[in-house]
């Protein structure tokens, strides 16, 4: 997975803004209601990203998880030979310095100009 090419450099202003921002994180296992909570926040005006998955059999309204973030998380799981379906595999995840830099760059690119985001 070539993540580096997907992450454009961010301005210093966007980077500074991100670290002063207030993120709201909604997480949950599949079918736990996290999508409903996220949808309520989105309806109230919370910015959740700009690339979403379309609807399917399990979610008629689609998924409110930004797909760039989902791909990055999947990359971290893959390099750790872990799976979101098996909590035991996630107990000892490691994140390289390069992946930390990529995560920061992705967050700045996606949310750097927002003061509140999810």
Q: Which of the four pLDDT bands, split at 50, 70 and 90, describes residue 16? A: low
For residue 39, the model assigns a pLDDT of: 83
Residue 2 belongs to a domain: no
Mean pLDDT of 98-113: 89
Mean pLDDT of 9-19: 56
Is residue 70 domain-resident?
Answer: yes
**pTM across the whole model:** 0.71
User: Between these two residues, 79 and 109, which has the higher pLDDT value?
Assistant: 79
Query: Contact 105/7 with Cβ under 8 angstroms?
Result: yes
Residue 5 belongs to a domain: no
Residue 6 lies in a domain: no
> According to the model, what pLDDT value does residue 75 have?
95
In a domain, residue 34? The reply is yes
Mean pLDDT of 20-45: 79
The structural domain count of the chain equals 1
How confident is residue 20, by pLDDT bands cut at 50, 70 and 90?
low
- Residue 1 in domain: no
Neighbours of 106 (CB within 10 A): 21
* Domain housing 27: 11-115
Domain-embedded: residue 63: yes
Whether residue 113 has pLDDT greater than 60:
yes
- Three-class SS of residue 1? coil
Retrieve residue 13's tokens.
């202003």
How many CB atoms lie under 10 A from the CB of residue 64? 22
Rounded to an integer, what distance in angstroms lies between the CA atom of residue 51 and that of residue 43?
16
Residue 3 domain-assigned (yes or no): no
């Amino acid at each position: 997975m070539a993540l580096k090419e997907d992450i454009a450099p961010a301005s210093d202003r966007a980077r500074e803004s991100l670290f002063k921002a207030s993120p709201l994180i909604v997480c949950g296992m599949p079918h736990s209601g996290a999508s409903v909570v996220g949808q309520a926040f989105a309806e109230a005006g919370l910015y959740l990203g700009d690339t979403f998955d379309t609807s399917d059999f399990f979610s008629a309204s689609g998924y409110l998880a930004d797909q760039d973030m989902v791909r990055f998380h999947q990359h971290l799981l893959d390099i750790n030979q872990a799976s979101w379906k098996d909590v035991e595999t996630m107990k000892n995840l490691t994140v390289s310095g390069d992946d930390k830099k990529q995560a920061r760059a992705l967050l700045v690119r996606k949310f750097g100009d927002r003061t509140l985001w999810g």
